[in-house]
Amino acid sequence: MRTRFTDMMNITYPIVQGAMAWVSDAQLASAVSEAGGLGIIASGGRTAQWFREEIRLAREKTDKPFGVNLVLQDPDWQDKFQVILEEKPICVSVGAGNPLPLIEPLHEIGTKIFPVVPNIRLAKRVESAGADAIIIEGMEAGGHVGNISTMALMTQILPEISVPSIIAGGIADGRGLAAALLMGACGIQMGTRFYASQESSAHINAKMAIVNATDTDSVTTGRRGSLVRSLRNELTECYHKMEDEGRPREELSQLVRGTARKAPIEGDADWGIVQAGQSLSVIRELLPVATIIEQMMKEAREATELLQSYFVE
Amino acid sequence: MRTRFTDMMNITYPIVQGAMAWVSDAQLASAVSEAGGLGIIASGGRTAQWFREEIRLAREKTDKPFGVNLVLQDPDWQDKFQVILEEKPICVSVGAGNPLPLIEPLHEIGTKIFPVVPNIRLAKRVESAGADAIIIEGMEAGGHVGNISTMALMTQILPEISVPSIIAGGIADGRGLAAALLMGACGIQMGTRFYASQESSAHINAKMAIVNATDTDSVTTGRRGSLVRSLRNELTECYHKMEDEGRPREELSQLVRGTARKAPIEGDADWGIVQAGQSLSVIRELLPVATIIEQMMKEAREATELLQSYFVE
């Protein structure tokens, strides 16, 4: 399968692995890249030192292209940006902040930048500022999300931009990939599906919580405008109960503080946050990354043939 | 274009017009059916007498198939159900309540029933109870909505059911139609796009508010679990301000009470609720229904050809 994005990145399939805090490490990223997709190492929450070591480790594990992710809300994001300037990864996806000042320094070291955008206005702004591709993320994605859905964003942003675009949020199989390409995207990003893959080094409790979850098990916590999507569990139920009781914001923030690493690292899927998107029921077992991607390409092909069959001359 | 739904309903295009309170009347429904889609008359909020007259008026305006909608939260929904039993429309879409008890009486008069479902569990339940088709509605739709997006619902529900399914929520052009068919649906439902059509008898102020809106202008009000999606305006800003101030639910409910008819009927798009979905920017002018549908079929064909071009042997 060839798109402008696979050509630009020299990868086999237009499938990007989502940058998941405490989950997307060298092991997962290299597995996705080895399988023909684009792996991403997530620096969010980690130390700059860990970040540098994972980039080097991934280079040992694969000769294929992989990228990294920078979260501009991270207190030490600038240390991690320094690591990027020194390690010179092929590409960087950037979320949760203003990516414009990073474009020029990254281009100077030959690194491509893919800002994550939640609406038309920001998509146009980063495109005109020189972003190499944009990641359009819908509210059904796991982790920090906006309010607009993948279908609404694909419908409205794709006709407005010419830079290659990657669709994220709610896509978990080859039908979703084919739908995104059909709408005008050049590829998709998947997080949750890879979170629950064999190569994911996330704790088995968190991975199995995803395998056992269904469509109604994904909820959001946080204030309007800074929502985090995760699996419904003891923590989120407690959060929503306190919210309904009108408890002050500070108490709510206190409740979730530091819970991002608790599930994927410590294995507490009840009181830790399992950041996962809304497309859960199709994730039925912990498959190898290569198997997930192979199945997706088969599903995309079958879906395309099905669509063709509906047209009558 | 032929799908199991177009065959079942004997219509030309797999496009259903959404049931919009105070907007979907005989004029709009007959225009959509005349153009080859499936028009729907919405009874929500109206009187049983108005409902009966509109069904009869639509029959004068078109010989093509059209349907009606029943809202089971309507205080007088049973009077309207009585009208349906007497007028025997071809099909009824049913939302906001338990449709199971209606299936047998409707089948006895030869009327098909299409329950609106927001998750896998309810989709399977209405299918096994004998629903003729299901309408899968994502959170990006206008009006009363759930929490799960169209992409997540298509990904998870479509592989689980065999009854014909219609996708609603965030679809406003032919690319969205093609994407839904590709995912396994038999058609789509569009509301907002037809709200802002030439034949829509909604007030010009409400129609132009939709034409002038963009992706970030669609918001929800209401408690978690009973959300209503509409355009951001004076009313919704006031609602969210009061919500942030922690004002009691009763005050919030009081603020929105009776505002559903205010925009489409009285033309107050500032303090009335303009129930619209998230896909707004592609609605650029008030086009005739037939033109909207013709454009969609052209867009669907082009999108399908684009998708085919990505596959390399």
Instruction: Give A75-113 pLDDT, tens digit per residue.
Output: 999 999 999 999 999 999 998 789 999 999 999 999 999
Residue B309 CB burial class (10 angstroms; 0-12, 13-18, ≥19): exposed
Percent above pLDDT 70 for chain A = 99
Distance from CA of A149 to the nearest CA of B (A): 6
pLDDT at B313: 62
Which DSSP helix (H) or strand (E) runs through A31? Answer: helix A26-34
Strands B227-231 and B143-145: antiparallel
Q: Going by C-beta distance under 8 Å and a sequence separation of 6 or more, which residues neighbour residue A292?
A: A35, A193, A194, A197
Band (A43; pLDDT cuts 50, 70, 90): very high
Please give the DSSP secondary-structure letter assigned to residue B18.
Answer: P
Partners of B183 on chain A (C-beta within 8 Å) are 175-176, 179, 303
Tell whether A109 lies on the interface with B, counting CB pairs under 8 A: no
Residue range B4-201+282-309 in CATH 2.30.40.10:
no
Q: Going by C-beta distance under 8 Å and a sequence separation of 6 or more, which residues neighbour residue B140?
A: A148, A149, A151, A152, B149, B150, B169, B170, B218, B229, B277, B278, B279
Residue A207 CB burial class (10 angstroms; 0-12, 13-18, ≥19): buried
Could you tell me which of A14, A41, A22 has the C-alpha nearest to residue A30?
Answer: A41
A281 and B308 within 8 Å at the Cβ level: the answer is no
Partners of B277 on chain A (C-beta within 8 Å) are 152
Residue B23 carries which side chain, given as an amino acid letter? V
Question: Is B37:B11 a contact under the CB 8 Å cutoff?
Answer: yes
Question: Is B149:A149 a contact under the CB 8 Å cutoff?
Answer: yes
Tell whether A38 lies on the interface with B, counting CB pairs under 8 A: no
Model confidence over B243-295: pLDDT tens digits? 888 888 889 989 998 899 999 999 999 999 999 999 999 999 999 999 999 99
- Reading phi first (left if > 0) and then psi (alpha if -120 to 50, else beta), residue B96 is in left
A140 and B149 within 8 Å at the Cβ level: the answer is yes
Distance CA A115, CA A123 (A): 8
Please give the DSSP secondary-structure letter assigned to residue A217.
Answer: G
Q: Which residue of A has its CA nearest to B249?
A: A244
pLDDT value at B310 more than 70: yes
Instruction: Locate CATH 3.20.20.70 in chain B.
Output: 4-201+282-309
B114: β partners: B93
Strands B218-221 and B227-231: antiparallel
Q: Which long-range contacts link B71-80 to residues 24+ away (Cβ below 8 Å)? A: B71/B21, B71/B42, B71/B43, B71/B44, B71/B45, B71/B95, B71/B96, B71/B97, B72/B96, B72/B97, B72/B98, B72/B99, B73/B97, B74/B43, B74/B44, B74/B45, B76/B47, B76/B48, B77/B43, B79/B48, B80/B43, B80/B48, B80/B51
Model confidence over B8-65: pLDDT tens digits? 999 999 999 999 999 999 999 999 999 999 999 999 999 999 999 999 999 999 999 9
C-alpha dihedral, B283 to B286 to B288 to B292, nearest 10°: -10
**The tokens 């998941």 sit on which residue?**
A20
Q: Which residue of B has its CA nearest to A179?
A: B179
- Overall average pLDDT of the B302-311 stretch: 94
pLDDT value at B224 more than 80: no
Partners of A246 on chain B (C-beta within 8 Å) are 246
User: Who among A152, A182, A301 is closest to B170 (CB)?
Assistant: A152
Question: Is B94:B68 a contact under the CB 8 Å cutoff?
Answer: no
**The tokens 């993948």 sit on which residue?**
A150
Partners of A154 on chain B (C-beta within 8 Å) are 175-176, 179
Tell whether A280 lies on the interface with B, counting CB pairs under 8 A: yes
Q: Tokens in use for A230?
A: 């995760």
Residue B49 CB burial class (10 angstroms; 0-12, 13-18, ≥19): exposed
User: What 3-state DSSP class applies to B90?
Assistant: coil
pLDDT value at B4 more than 90: yes
Distance CA A290, CA A294 (A): 6
Could you tell me which of A16, A12, A94, A26 has the C-alpha nearest to residue A56?
Answer: A26
Distance CA A99, CA A119 (A): 15
pLDDT at B26: 98
pLDDT at B248: 87
pLDDT value at A274 more than 80: yes
Partners of B173 on chain A (C-beta within 8 Å) are 155
Question: Is B190:B172 a contact under the CB 8 Å cutoff?
Answer: yes
